[in-house]
A and B are shown apart, each in its own frame.
Chain A
Amino acid sequence: MTQAASSEAAGRRSHVIETDRLSKRFGDLMAVRDVSLSVDKGEIFGVLGPNGAGKPTTIRMLCGILDPTGGGGRVVGCDIRTEAEKIKQRIGYMTQRFSLYEDLSVEENLRFYAGIYGVPSDRRNARLEEVLASTGLGSRRRQLAGTLSGGWKQRVALASATIHQPPLLFLDEPTAGVDPVSRREFWDQIHRISSQGTTVLLTTHYMDEAERCHRLAFIFSGVLLDTGTPDEIVERRHLRIAEIDVDRATEAADVLRAQGDVDEVSHFGSTLRVATRNGIDPEALSRTVLGEHGILVRRTRPGRTTVEDAFVSMVRAEELGKRGLS
Chain B
Amino acid sequence: MSALTRSMAVARKELLQLRRDRLTLAMMVALPLLQLLLFGYAINTDVRHMPTVVFDQDRSAASRSLAQRLTATGFYDIKGDVRSYGEVEHALRSGQARVALIVPPRYGSSIAVGRSARVQLVVDGSDPQTVASATNTAASLVQADAAALVLKRLGRNAGELLGLETNIWYNPEIRTAVYVVPGLVGVILTMTMVMLTSMAIARERERGTLEQLIVSPIKSIELIIGKIVPFIAIGYVQMSLILAAGRVVFDVPIIGSLPLLYCLASVFIAANLAVGLVFSTVAQTQQQAMQMSFFFLLPNILLSGFMFPFEAMPKPAQFLSTGLPLTHFLRIVRAITLKGGDFNDVKGELVWLAGILVVLVTLSSLRFRKKLG
Is the beta-carbon distance between A91 and B16 smaller than 8 angstroms? no
Contacts of B5 in A (CB 8 A): 115, 118, 121
- Count of interface residues, chain B, beta-carbon cutoff 8 Å: 28
From A57, which residue of chain B is reached at the shortest CB distance?
B373
Q: Which residues of B contact A53 (CB under 8 A)?
A: none
B43 within 8 A of A: no
Interchain CB contact (< 8 A) of A103 among B12, B20, B216: B20
Q: B260 contacts the other chain (Cβ, under 8 Å)?
A: no
Distance in angstroms between the alpha carbons of A272 and B140 in the assembled complex: 105
Say yes or no for B215: interface residue by CB 8 A criterion: yes
Residues of A within 8 A of B371 (CB): 65-67, 84
**A116 and B216 within 8 A (CB):** yes
CB-based nearest B residue for A88: B217
The reply to whether A104 and B16 form a contact with Cβ atoms under 8 Å apart is yes
- Complex Cα distance, B17 from A270, in Å, reads 54
Residues of B within 8 A of A99 (CB): 207-209, 211-212
Chain B residues near A170: list those with CB within 8 A.
215
Asked if residues A116 and B21 are in contact (CB atoms below 8 Å), the reply is: no
Asked if B9 and A108 sit within 8 Å, CB to CB, the answer is: no
Q: How distant is B295 from chain A, measured CB to nearest CB, in Å?
A: 27
What's the least CB distance linking B19 to chain A, in Å? Answer: 9
Closest B residue to A69 using CB positions: B373
Chain B positions within 8 Å of A118 at CB level = 2, 5-6, 217
Evaluate contact between A115 and B208: CB separation under 8 angstroms: no
Would you call A95 and B212 a contact (CB within 8 A)? yes
Q: With contacts A115-B8, A118-B5 known, is A104 near B209, CB below 8 A?
A: no
Contact status of A108 and B16, CB under 8 A, knowing A65-B370, A66-B373, A102-B207: yes
- CA separation between A81 and B155, bound complex, in Å? 98
Q: What residue in chain B is nearest A104 (Cβ atoms)?
A: B16
Docked CA distance A264–B192 (Å)? 61
**Count of interface residues, chain A, beta-carbon cutoff 8 Å:** 33
A88 and B21 CA atoms in complex are apart in Å by: 31
Shortest distance between the CB of B20 and any CB in chain A (Å): 5
Flag if B217 contacts A93 (CB, 8 Å): no
A65-B214, A65-B372 given; A112·B13 CB < 8 A: yes
User: Which of these, A60, A93, A114, A115, contacts B212 with CB under 8 Å?
Assistant: A93
Contact of B215 among A63, A100, A104 (CB under 8 A): A63
Whether A95 pairs with B9 at a CB distance below 8 angstroms is: no
User: Smallest Cβ distance from B285 to chain A, in angstroms?
Assistant: 15
Output the residue of A88, A111, A115 with the most chain B CB within 10 A: A115
> Is B241 an interface residue, CB under 8 A from the partner?
no
Give bound CA distance, A96 to B285, whole Å: 20
B218 proximal to A (CB < 8 A): yes
Instruction: For chain B, residues 342 to 373, give those with C-beta under 8 angstroms from any C-beta of chain A.
Output: 370-373
Residues of A55-83 whose CB lies within 8 A of B: 60, 63, 65-67
**Are A101 and B217 within 8 A (Cβ)?**
no
Min Cβ gap A84→B in Å is 8
Minimum Cβ distance to chain B for residue A268 (Å): 37
A-B contact pairs, 15 of them (CB 8 A): A65-B370, A65-B372, A66-B373, A67-B371, A89-B217, A95-B212, A101-B209, A103-B20, A104-B13, A111-B9, A115-B5, A115-B9, A116-B10, A116-B218, A118-B217
Residues of A within 8 A of B (CB): 26, 60, 63, 65-67, 84-85, 88-89, 91, 93, 95, 97-104, 108, 111-118, 121, 144, 170
Q: A111-B9, A118-B2, A118-B217 are in contact. List 18 more A-B contacts (CB 8 A).
A: A60-B373, A65-B215, A65-B371, A66-B372, A67-B371, A67-B373, A85-B217, A97-B208, A99-B207, A103-B17, A104-B16, A112-B13, A115-B5, A115-B6, A115-B10, A115-B12, A116-B217, A121-B5
